[in-house]
Structure 1
């Protein structure tokens, strides 16, 4: 596992920091623990440990898990660019969306399907809303 982490350029401390940041965002989005675990492809025990901010622990995450964390962080950054108020930044993922891709479901429901394509497509649809703001 250490060789995989080194070849990807992620230390165990970076994995913990990224995971804790993503879990914190998912909590603010009102994601259930089950949704968060499916979105990040982590176990319930890993999710519980990531929520315990004061606990010392390390974890090695694979490329897929780090990519999922990156999508959550990038969706959050995009929402912060689009919306000025915290209610929309943190509430949007839980809002029913009638866009043809979402078909009356929330972005959280789509992401929690657990596959990378659903996470990527949710990010892509939200990213389009920001226009050329980068």
Structure 2
């Protein structure tokens, strides 16, 4: 009989999968013109983790917690929503850095809101962008 401590939820990812997701999220953030400081705040990672992930060492590994994995997922989902909204790569990658005058953003860029570092700002940014496409998956 498995004890609670030995049961692993299906949503858990391997370290390799976490690193792959982290690198994908960092590539997207780079294309969104996020600074290293913004990327670290959005993903809640240290500067050393950021630097090591960018080096592409195939042997490097890092343990990511549930919050960090959720943040990676949110960045990937925002990117997916933008790809559905826009055909032009300049818009897909430029939109997060553009000033937005909708009520939630109040003239700030989505990237600026996400870089506040809290999960609510990241999630609410995703919700607003996702709503632009009418939530039509």
Q: TM tier, shorter chain? A: over 0.9
Q: Is the 8 A contact 1:22 1:69 kept in 2?
A: yes
2:29 paired with 1:23? no
Aligned match of 2:50: 47
Aligned match of 1:10: 13
Name stretches of at least 5 consecutive residues in structure 1 with no aligned partner. Answer: none
Alpha-carbon shift at residue 9 of structure 1 (Å): 1.7
Q: Taking structure 1 as reference, are residues 132 and 124 closer, same or farther at Cα in structure 2, changes over 3 Å only? A: closer
- Whole-angstrom distance in 2 between the partners of 1:131 and 1:76: 16
Deviations 1:50-84 (A, max 9, x none): 11124420111000000000000000000000000
Aligned match of 1:60: 63
Name stretches of at least 5 consecutive residues in structure 2 with no aligned partner. Answer: none
Provide TM-score, normalisation by structure 2.
0.91
Mark the structure with the bigger radius of gyration: 2
**RMSD value, Cα:** 1.5
One of 99, 114, 117 as aligned partner of 1:114: 117
- Whole-angstrom distance in 2 between the partners of 1:38 and 1:132: 27
Alpha-carbon shift at residue 25 of structure 1 (Å): 0.3
- Whole-angstrom distance in 2 between the partners of 1:9 and 1:118: 24
Bigger shift: residues 44-53 or 118-127: 44-53
Provide TM-score, normalisation by structure 1.
0.93
Aligned residues: 131
